Amino acid sequence: MASLQHFAFKRFLIVSIVLAVAALTPKVVISAQEDVPYCHRYADFNFPDYMALWNYDDPETTASTFFAMLNMASSSMDKTFFSELLSQIARTFVMREQYEDANHFLEQAKLYLDNAEPRAEAYYLREKARLLTAKGQSEQATELLVESWHIADEEKYDQLAIETALDLSEAENISKAERKSWRNKALALSELTSDQRAKMWVLQNPQRFI
């Protein structure tokens, strides 16, 4: 337990230092569509790619990492990044079956959607669907996933569209033909996308397409 706490505290310090340096260091920002990795920037704040900080084997430590980023996210007034970060914190609680906490952070994420880019809503809907699935509300979850996919598809968020289509290809409350259709959508986009982040994700997650 002591070693785990030491690791979490050490990671907290590392992330805090990275954020402080990033905020003070001017740099040319590369968008998600151009290269990987990239740094999110808003109102003179630089943000590391929070998705790169995910540890899916350790959601508790991931939550601690994301909590360390919240103060800077809120200070930046960037509602998109703030909402997305809250949605991902909610996901860490879903993975730990702490559904009330997950719902709390999803409700917080929802508060900022009106002033955020569409991507934030797509992420919110996907994580809300994940919570509903965990609670056995699969039909509502599927509806939200479809809504999330439409946003991602229309806005050309290719990685998110691919991932969400694959989520739908695993939905148990739709027909086998529908699941196959969603899988084919994901496959087609994975082959056509010019988004480098999406390409990298596909290469790193071949098992999702099996």
Asked whether the beta carbons of 112 and 120 are under 8 A apart, the reply is yes
- Domain range spanning residue 140? 11-209
Residue 67 resides in a domain: yes
Say whether pTM exceeds 0.85: no
| Interatomic CA distance for residues 140 and 133, integer angstroms | 8
CATH code, domain with 95: 1.25.40.10
Q: How many domains is the chain built from?
A: 1
Tokens of 84: 């997305």
pLDDT tens digits along 8-62: 444 444 444 434 433 433 333 322 333 333 334 444 455 668 888 899 999 999 9
Place of tokens 């033909």: 177
Residue 153 domain-assigned?
A: yes
Distance CA 46, CA 41 (A): 4
Residue 6 lies in a domain: no
Residue 60 inside a domain? The answer is yes
Is 3 within a domain?
Answer: no
